[in-house]
Amino acid sequence: FGSSEALVQDVRGCLMAAIARSPHPQENRVFATAHVLQTKAAEKREFVQKFIRSLERAERQNAATDRAWLRDVVNPQDLCFQTLVKLLLAKKYEGFVSLHCVCLRAMQMMLRIAVNMVATGDRSHDVPHAGLQCFTALAGATLAEECYPRICRMAEYQVETLLACNSILVLAELGPQALRLHHSEKLLDLFVSVPERADELVEVALRMHSWGGEQRTALLQGLVSHDGGHLVGEVLLQVVNRGDEGRKSRALKILTGCLDLPGGSCLLYTNDALVLIEILLRELPCVAEDAASFEVHAKCLLAITRSSCAARVHRHDEVVQMLGDVREDQRNPLDVRQTCAHLVEFL
C-alpha cells in the first residue's frame, strides 16, 4: 500500500472528489473552505512553534550570534511581532485557540527579551512601564491599540484556561498599567486550573508584588482568601529554596506579607511551614553579612513563628542557637546582631 502518508493523501483525495460530486454544492464549498482554513491555521501554528523553539534555543545558548539574532528579532523594524499580532486579530482565525495560544506565547517571550535588552542593568522589572513601551514599538501604535483590548478579553476567558494563562503572561510583561487589580483573582484561579504552569504564573505574582501599591495589596489579600493560596505558597517555597537572590527575596516578602494578614496562618500547610523553618535556619547565617537580605529573612522567620505554633517549636533550640551565634559574631553588621537579639527574645 506504500507509505502511510501516501495512503492518507489518497484517502483524502478520494473523499474530496466524492464530496465535489455530491448534490449539495453550496454546503460543499463551505466544507472545503473550512478544511483549507484549518490546514492554514495548523501550518501557521507549527511555524510559530518553531519560532518559539528558536527563541528558547537562542536564550539558552546565549552565544554572540544568538544575542545578535535576538536583537534583530526584537528590532521594531522587524515584522515578526506584527505578524503575530495580525494572526491574533485575524477574524478568519478567531476560533483557533491553539494558534492564539502559541502566538501569545511567542509575543510574551519577545516582550521579555526586548525589556531585558532596553532595561538598565539586570533588574528589568524595576522598569515597570518598559513592557508597554516595547509592545507599542514592536506592534506599531495602531495594531497595539487594537490588540491590547483583545488580549485583555482573552485573559478573562473562563473556559479556555490555556488561552487565559498565556494572555495573563503577556499582560504581566506589559506592566502594572495592563495587569490590573481584578487580574489577581484570575491569576489565582489559573494556579488551580493549570497547575502545570505554576512556575510561570508565580513569576507574575513576584512581579505584581514588586510593583507595590494596590496590586500588591490585592495579591496578598487574594492569597490568604483564595482556594489556590496553598498552591501558590508551595511554589513560593520552591523559589525561596532554589531561586536566585532577587526572586528568593521577593518570595520571602510575599510569604511575610501574607502571614502577617488576618487569616494568613492558613496560607501554608503545617508541613510547608516546617520546611520554611528549615530553609530559614540554613539561609540566615549565609546572609548575615548583608543587613538588607538578613532583615528580609528575619521578618519571615518572625512572621511564620507568630502564625504557626508548630513552626515556632520546630527545631527551636537550633534556631535560637543559630541566632545567638550570628549575634555574637562581631564581623556581622550591628543591625543584624540587634535583629538577632530581638528574635531570640521573642522565641
Residue 124: its pLDDT value, please? 43
pLDDT tens-digit readout, 240-290:
999 899 999 999 999 999 999 999 988 999 999 999 999 999 999 999 999
Distance CA 156, CA 163 (A): 9
| C-alpha grid cell, residue 89 | 486579530
Q: How confident is the model at residue 164 (pLDDT cuts 50, 70, 90)?
A: very high
- pLDDT value at 140 more than 70: yes
Residue 181: its pLDDT value, please? 84
Distance CA 61, CA 72 (A): 16
Q: Are 120 and 127 in contact (CB under 8 A)?
A: yes
Q: What's the Rg (C-alpha) of the chain?
A: 26
- pLDDT value at 123 more than 90: no
Residue 182: its pLDDT value, please? 85
The full DSSP string for 54-99 is: HHHHHHHH--HHHHHHHHHHTSTTSSHHHHHHHHHH-GGGTT-HHH
pLDDT tens-digit readout, 287-306:
999 999 999 999 999 999 99
Residue with cell 488580549: 151
Counting Cβ atoms within 10 Å, is residue 34 exposed (0-12), middle (13-18) or buried (19+)? exposed
- pLDDT value at 157 more than 80: no
Q: Whole-model pTM?
A: 0.83
Lowest mean pLDDT among 52-61, 175-184, 280-289: 175-184
Q: What angle do CA 175, 51, 247 make, to 5 degrees?
A: 40
Average pLDDT over residues 73-83: 93
Average pLDDT over residues 147-175: 91
Every domain of the chain and the residues it spans: 1-179
Q: Which long-range contacts does 56-62 make (Cβ < 8 Å, 24+ apart)?
A: 56/109, 59/113
Q: How confident is the model at residue 1 (pLDDT cuts 50, 70, 90)?
A: very low
